[in-house]
Structure 1
Amino acid sequence: MSTVTVYGSTGMVGSAITAEAASRGFTVTGVTRGNPDHVKNPVPGVTYVTGDIADTGDVVEKARATDIIVFSVPGPRDGSSVQPIIDAHSRIVAAFAGAKITARIFIVGGAGATRTPDGTMLKDTPDFPAAYKAEAESFARILELWQGSARDLDWTMLAPAPQIAPGEPTESYNLGDDQPAGDFVTAGTFARAAVDELEKPAHRRARFTVANA
C-alpha cells in the first residue's frame, strides 16, 4: 500500500484524512508543528513527526520519501496576514518543480474560492462571512499557484462545502467541479472523498468539491 504524509495531521480535516487513510491500510506519517510525542488523540499506527509547511527544504525531503503528500493547513482567520500561507505554497510549487517531485500532491482547499453559477467566487458575494474572507482570499491565490505549476506535478485540490464541521462520514456524498456540491459537509465525509481520490485518482491537476449527500 502507498505511503501518505499529511501536513496539518492534527487539525479537524487533517486528522480525519489521517485516520481515514490509516484505516484503509496506507502507511501514514502525520506532520505537526508541535512535539509529536504530545499529539492529542493520535491515530493508531500513524507515525508523527515535526514539520512546518513554511520549511520548504524539509517539505521537499518529506515529499521525496512518500508516495502522496497532503497539505491540510488552513489560512488565517484572526485578521493576520494571508501572505505567509500563500508564500509557503509559492515556494513549494517552485521547489517541487525544480526537484522533479513525483509524489502525488493533495491540497485541502477552501470553499470561498469556489464559484456561484454566474462565475462569481463565493468570497466575493455580498453575504460571505467576513471572518473567513482572508482564508478564502489565500486559497483563491493558492489554487492559481497550483494551476500554473509545472505540468509534471501531479496535484489535486479538494474544497469543502461552504459549511464544514466535525462529524462522521455519510454513506454517500456529492461531488462538483468549480461550484459547491451542496451546503454542508462533515470532516468525515470530506476525508472519505479525499482518500477515495487518493486510491482512485479522477481529478488530476484539478480542483473539485464535496458535500454530504
Structure 2
Amino acid sequence: MKKIAVVAANGRVAKKVIAEALNRGDEVVAFGRHAENDTAAQNYIRKDILDLTREDLAGFDAVVDAFGAWAPEALPGHSITLKHLCDVLSGTEVRLVVVGGAGSLYLDKEHKTQLVDSPDFPDAFKPLALAQGKALEELRERTDVRWTFISPAADFQADGARTGKYILAGEELTVNPKGESIISYADYAIALVDEIEKGNHIQQRISVVRG
C-alpha cells in the first residue's frame, strides 16, 4: 500500500487517479480548491496548490501533480505551480509524479521536432502544449526532486473506456499496433498508479498509449 497525495484533485484526470488508487487499497489524501469534496477520497483538504507546505506533503510516498489550466492568463501556472511543488519536495524521498501533456513528445529519434511543431497540431491546443512543454524543460533542471513526468497519447479521451491495457513508452510519440496514439483518462490513471507502485522512472519523462 502506498500513501499518495493528489494535488489539484478536483480535475477530471485527478479524480480518475484517486479512484484507481483507492480501488487498489492505497491511502489517498486529496488537496483541492473547491469547498466541496467532489472526489472519491474520504480525506480531502481544501488548499490552493501554492499554499502547500513541506509539512503538508511530508510522509507521502508520492505526490501527484494534476494541475491543469487552459485560459491564456492561467497558462503560466503550469510552471509556477510545478516549481512550487519542486521547492517543497526538494531533497526529500517523496516522489513527484506529474500529469503532463502530449505536445512535447518527440517525432524523431534526434529529439529535434515535437508533436506541437507538426503542421496538423490543432492551433487551439498550442498555447497549452507550449506551457506544459516549458514546465517540463524547467523540471528537467531539477536534480533535487524525485520527479516523473507522464505524457498521455495524442488523443487523450476523458470519457474513453477503461481497458486495463497500455503500452509504456518514452520521449517519442508512440502508436499501438493499430497505428493509434490514443488513451483514455481511466487507462492513463492505471499507468500512473502503476508507476507509483512499481515503476522507478526517476527524473524521466515517460509516455503511455492504449495497448
TM-score for the superposition, normalised by structure 2: 0.88
Q: Secondary structure at the match of 1:128?
A: coil
5+ long unaligned stretches in structure 1: none
Query: Shift in Å at residue 59 of structure 1?
Result: 4.1
- 4+ aligned runs moved over 4 Å, structure 1: none
CA distance in structure 1 between the partners assigned to 2:64 and 2:141 by the alignment = 19
Q: Residues 59 and 185 (structure 1 numbering): CA distance in 2 closer, same or farther, change over 3 Å?
A: farther
5+ long unaligned stretches in structure 2: 176-180
**Counterpart among 54, 65, 72 of residue 60 in structure 1:** 54
Query: Shift in Å at residue 125 of structure 1?
Result: 1.6
Whichever residue aligns with residue 162 of structure 1, its letter is A
**Counterpart among 79, 82, 90 of residue 83 in structure 2:** 90
Alignment correspondent of 1:155 = 147
1:85-143 superposed Cα distances (whole Å, 9 cap, x missing partner): 2122223323432xx22211100011011111253111122221122112111111111
CA distance in structure 2 between the partners assigned to 1:53 and 1:145 by the alignment = 18
Alignment correspondent of 1:47 = 43
Alignment correspondent of 1:108 = 99
Q: Secondary structure at the match of 2:54?
A: helix
Is residue 2:115 matched to residue 1:122? yes
CA distance in structure 1 between the partners assigned to 2:209 and 2:78 by the alignment = 25
More helix by share: 1
Q: Secondary structure at the match of 2:200?
A: coil
Alignment correspondent of 1:192 = 190
CA distance in structure 1 between the partners assigned to 2:101 and 2:192 by the alignment = 14
TM-score for the superposition, normalised by structure 1: 0.87
How many residue pairs are counted as aligned between the two chains? 203
Residue pairs, 1:156-171, within 5 angstroms:
156-165=148-157, 166-171=159-164
Q: Secondary structure at the match of 1:4?
A: strand
CA distance in structure 1 between the partners assigned to 2:15 and 2:74 by the alignment = 25
Name the Cα RMSD after superposition: 1.7
CA distance in structure 2 between the partners assigned to 1:168 and 1:10 by the alignment = 20
Query: Shift in Å at residue 81 of structure 1?
Result: 4.5
CA distance in structure 2 between the partners assigned to 1:169 and 1:62 by the alignment = 32
Percent of pairs identical after alignment?
Answer: 27
CA distance in structure 2 between the partners assigned to 1:117 and 1:170 by the alignment = 29
Q: Residues 87 and 174 (structure 1 numbering): CA distance in 2 closer, same or farther, change over 3 Å?
A: same
Query: Shift in Å at residue 190 of structure 1?
Result: 0.1
